[in-house]
Chains A and B, each alone.
Chain A
Amino acid sequence: MRKSRLVLAPAVMLASAALVLSGCAAAEEEATTDSGSTTTETTDVAETYEVYALLPQGSDQAYGTFYVPAMEAAAAELGINLTITNSEYDGDKQASECEIAVAAKPDGIILWPAVGDAVRPCLEAAEAAGIPVTVTNSDLFDADKALSRGYSGPDTYGQGVSSAEIMCELVGDAAVSIIQLNGAAGNSTAIDRDNGFTDTVAANCPNVTILQEESTDWTKATAQQVASEMITAQGIENIDGIYAADDSIAAGAIAALEARGVVAADYFITSIGNTFLGNPLVIDGSLDGTVFQSSSWDGENATRLMYDVLTGVIAAGDREVKFMPSVKVTAANASDADVAPEW
């Protein structure tokens, strides 16, 4: 039947094209150098390491914008050729990028999990291929940690804890009601900080009641809108404080308060980040406390940790954990040079 030829013709063309191309590719591989890209396939001298960095954000978010240059600078200094990906928090996309990375057989893989639950297959594939994996920014679940050689980065659960500790300290024993603004729904950092905060408040200062929580998309504009509506829902006279998962969110919440003519400094407000938006607010008293997260520390140490693994500083079988110091930033130390905001 003609119809079968119809299907067969393009299929045969495709198959033969693929075969021919892969044959050519195999032959070419030894002699190929790419002119158009920034990484080379051939490893010439032992000092140059090929490393894949699988990230869920880059220049599409404020944090990543400062993380990546720090990571690249450290790489350039240490002789590492970095190939960076950005899966935009899509777990499936990151898994696919991981497959590509494993197939490229680099010397190491730096992983910043997009979805913490979903990376085990990637880790196992890398392990099977003999490629060491280090983790950055969001650590793995306990069950998966053995498959990695190290973690560097913030302790996102711990950040929530620190922010809660500042809040508890401020509030003391008084019965206080707050509203809570989280990060993006379904996002692992948002979830960890949320849990860290609520667990600590429940344990250390149960006199603090959380009236309402809402998710935002990490931006100031959405936070401002949602905070204003939450204040309306609860009634401004019933609210004594606000917890925000991030300084941009806090800035939005503070703007919402000020739009109603109240003074933000009168409220107990804590958040996380110590960013360009947040630090000035701590200095002027609107924001009572935040937790310093250095994106450049994060990026730089991701590279350095991998370097330590590659050069054998971290022995096989060991797992090194380097936590970014969760420095609490309050009015007392907000102007200090060592907590100068970075992003």
Chain B
Amino acid sequence: MTNQSVIKVGSTATGFFGKLKTVLARRTEGRAVALFAIIASFVTISQPLVFTAYQVTLGRIALIGLVALGLTAVILMGELDLSVASTLAVSGVIAVTVANQTNMLIGVLAALAAGVVVSLINAFFVAIVGINSFIATLGMLFALRGMAFVISDEAPVKLENTDLGIAFGQPLLGPLTPRILIFFLIFIAIQVFVSRVKAGREFLAVGGNRQAAYDAGIPVKRRIFTGFIISGVVASIAGIVNAVERTSADPTSGSTVLLASFAAAIIGGNYLKGGKGSIVGTLIGAASLGMLQVALTISGIQIPVQEIFIGAILLIAVITDPSSLRAVWGSLSTTFQGIKNSLVNPAREKGSAPSIGNKTNERGN
């Protein structure tokens, strides 16, 4: 029999479904899955080609999702890495330039090394110097873009080993191209790291409450370095994959990927302030965005209309976040309280009409 002195703390749901409910309640991907389901059904009805030609859709998802995955590692810690777009471009340029002189393998290694160097610089400024990551990586975004232009002499660099590039774009495993396979491998790697490896699990702690993480003995600075290295290396890989598949490295590439990656991460339920979110969420977010983009392209709707569509969906997705809805509900009910109070007792209420700076509320809410 149960010990009478056991104190029940927290949920004690029993049974598979009870436990599943508890676990799912903590997950942040709920909205992402809902959005995915909505988009998937809409797309199935209107543009089934998105699914029948699923390898193409997966390719698009891999294009926007790869960078997003690396970015999520940084976002979980409450930091941002804007430089990924330029890291992508620079890596591609370095990979091709070096490969043309030597061979592909050395080119890839050089590009990966560049990605590591960039991420070390980013992490240095954020963890050691203490600059806000948004700004530090914004500066790197500009600087690296410039580097890409300087190294490539402001023109795309053509890969001489064109056959390798074409082969790289061919399906490798069934209908899946190397890009898609790399995407899934990286997803699994990062997901395992963040969920199973101790260092990775601490990312969420670092993001949730930086001070508490320090106090708990987590080597925060080292984790930040790790996070940026993940982000930088993944961006680098994305740049190499793009350049090889295209058989050319374009110094202007990556501009659309930056904001699409953020969108994928946010739709996936990641909080930009850190501490909450998941890699799986980003995967779902990237999948939703990718499906939507492919469906819109096939639909042949005017491009400006497509843009409006994506913007509207993004806006709705971000507004219907549960915490957002709670916040609005809170504000609305406070406002109604205020109005109600002022109507009921106009004499008692000082400055009853809600206005900037003068609104008082008896509940002090």
Contacts and interface: CB of A to CB of B under 8 A. Distances in A.
Touch between chains A and B, by CB atoms below 8 Å: yes
Interface of A: 2-3, 5-7, 9-11, 13-14, 17-18, 21-22, 24-26, 28-29, 32, 34-39, 41, 58-60, 82-86, 88-93, 95-97, 99-100, 102-104, 115-118, 120-121, 124-125, 143, 185-188, 191, 215
> Nearest 4 pairs between A and B by C-beta?
A117-B248, A103-B53, A118-B246, A83-B300
A215 B303 CA distance: 28
B169 A121 contact: yes
Nearest to A59: B304
Nearest to A125: B169
Contacts, number: 176
A59 B300 contact: no
Q: How large is the interface on B (under 10, 10 to 19, 20 to 34, 35 or more residues)?
A: 35 or more
Contact of B156 (A18, A41, A115): A115
A84 B253 CA distance: 21
B33 A13 contact: yes
A28 B50 CA distance: 13
Contact of B19 (A2, A24, A41, A85): A2
Contacts of B304: 59
A65 to B, nearest CB: 11
B125 interface: no
B245 A3 contact: no
A188 B154 CA distance: 10
Contacts of A22: 51-52, 54
B326 to A, nearest CB: 23
A120 to B, nearest CB: 5
Contacts of B242: 91-92
Contacts of A186: 149, 152, 154-156, 250-252
B257 interface: yes
Contact of A104 (B40, B51, B287, B298): B298
A215 B196 contact: no
B347 interface: no
Contact of A2 (B23, B156, B196, B248): B23
Given A9-B24, A37-B47, A186-B155, A82 B284 contact: no
Given A22-B52, A28-B44, A59-B304, A39 B299 contact: yes
Given A25-B52, A36-B299, A120 B166 contact: yes
B301 A38 contact: yes
Given A99-B59, A121-B246, 9 more contacts: A6-B27, A18-B54, A32-B48, A36-B299, A91-B242, A95-B245, A95-B246, A116-B156, A120-B162
A82 B298 CA distance: 11
Most chain A CB within 10 A, of B155, B242, B301, is at B155
A117 B100 CA distance: 14
Given A26-B52, A91-B246, A37 B156 contact: no
